[in-house]
Amino acid sequence: MFLTRRALGVAFSAGFSIVLAGPVAAQGQLTVYCSVQEEWCRPMMAAFEKETGIKVSMTRKSSGETYAQVKAESANPRGDVWWGGTGDPHMQAAEEGLTEEYKSPKLTELNDWAVRQWEGSKGRTVGIYSGALGFAYNTKLIAEKKLPEPKCWADLLDPKLKDEVQVADPNSSGTSYTMLATMVQIMGEQKAFEYLKALHKNINQYTKSGAAPAKATSLGETTVGIAFLHDHVMMIVDGAPMKAVAPCEGTGYEIGSMSIIKGAKNMDNAKKFYDWALTPAAQALAAPAKSFQVPSNKATPIPPQAPKLADIKLINFDFAKYGSSDERKRLLAKWDAEVKNLP
């Protein structure tokens, strides 16, 4: 069963109360900043509204963009919960005191990697899903253009792939920042920036959203797209002519996270959402929305389509270091200065 039994709503009118056993009565508001894909944001908010009667106002923005919004609004917060998106800007927000400490009773039900995110942020963010980074190529375009099938990060530097590769801008996108931090951890910082500068020659567009290159690959607008493997799988299950690749050198991964915004106007409802979002019933809403991450609650079934993390050569990603405010700001500034504006 997806949803637990609805609570009975109580309406007050002219000095007497009426118990409603039908749709739950209005229970106030909640503003959620959603950083997963729109296709998953919408059913998640609708299910929470239906279950609780709390009216949700939702905005979808990429991870880095949402972090910037939360920071810009910190003097007068307008959002209550930030749900989804890569963990690094959630960690940065935690360190900068932009988010609230909260210990959910559901914490004991989560995988260690999700709890570590909570511990590392001193209780200000928690893991809700995980997924590995990779790339995909459009099999029709690769064959038509007689291009070699890329298997490794190094293969994406092939001059034959000039203008054939798409990835997001790491300032707006947590996916792309995960790639930047992954390269630094695999190659060391100097070689990683040499790699990213060389890759720039093959990039046709830096998109705002991290999943956009997966969609563009499915539509044949780019031959290769770099994104989370589950974003590629989302296209493949719909029949896109695509092959997803876990790069041979190894790859990084994300711990998608959730935080309560400091000074949230609807704090009680924010905590209700937070607890609910960690339940197996809520996390099971991902798969029907074709979001195939690995969920954080141990009792949530892992969708069979989810890329199997155990089969992928994952690096030992240092979430504390690459989610720290100083390191994230420094790497993004360096990417802007040395990569973004190259001809």
Q: Which residues bind ligand PLP (CB under 6 A)?
A: 35-37, 62-63, 84-86, 131, 168, 173-175, 209-211, 228, 231, 254, 256, 291, 293
Which residues, in sequence order, are CB contacts of 275 under 8 Å at separation 6+?
Answer: 104, 105, 106
Contact call for residues 40 and 131 (beta carbons, < 8 A):
no
What phi and psi values does residue 61 have, to the nearest 5 degrees? Answer: -145, 160
| Choice between 23 and 288, CB closer to ligand PLP | 288
Q: What's the closest the beta carbon of residue 233 comes to ligand PLP, in angstroms? A: 10
CB atoms within 10 A of CB 103: 9
| Choice between 134 and 174, CB closer to ligand PLP | 174
Please tell me the total number of residues recorded for the chain in this structure: 343
And the tokens for 318?
């240092």
Contact call for residues 78 and 61 (beta carbons, < 8 A):
no
Q: What's the closest the beta carbon of residue 218 comes to ligand PLP, in angstroms? A: 14
Q: What's the closest the beta carbon of residue 224 comes to ligand PLP, in angstroms? A: 17
Q: What's the closest the beta carbon of residue 187 comes to ligand PLP, in angstroms? A: 21
Question: How far is it, in rounded angstroms, from Cα 343 to Cα 341?
Answer: 6
| Choice between 67 and 153, CB closer to ligand PLP | 67
Q: What's the closest the beta carbon of residue 228 comes to ligand PLP, in angstroms? A: 5
DSSP string, 19-53: EE-SSPPP--EEEEEE-S-HHHHHHHHHHHHHHH-
Q: What's the closest the beta carbon of residue 37 comes to ligand PLP, in angstroms? A: 4
What is the distance in angstroms between the CA of the first residue and the CA of the last residue of the chain?
54
Q: What's the closest the beta carbon of residue 101 comes to ligand PLP, in angstroms? A: 22
Contact call for residues 55 and 30 (beta carbons, < 8 A):
yes
| Choice between 40 and 195, CB closer to ligand PLP | 40
Contact call for residues 217 and 166 (beta carbons, < 8 A):
yes
| Choice between 266 and 323, CB closer to ligand PLP | 323
| Choice between 62 and 222, CB closer to ligand PLP | 62
Question: How far is it, in rounded angstroms, from Cα 53 to Cα 8?
Answer: 10
| Choice between 191 and 308, CB closer to ligand PLP | 308
Number of residue whose CB is nearest ligand PLP: 210
Q: What's the closest the beta carbon of residue 173 comes to ligand PLP, in angstroms? A: 3
Contact call for residues 229 and 131 (beta carbons, < 8 A):
yes
| Choice between 85 and 247, CB closer to ligand PLP | 85
Q: What's the closest the beta carbon of residue 133 comes to ligand PLP, in angstroms? A: 10
| Choice between 147 and 320, CB closer to ligand PLP | 320
Cβ burial 305-341 (10 Å sphere, 16+ → b, else e): ebbebeebebbebebeebbbeebbeebbeebeeebee
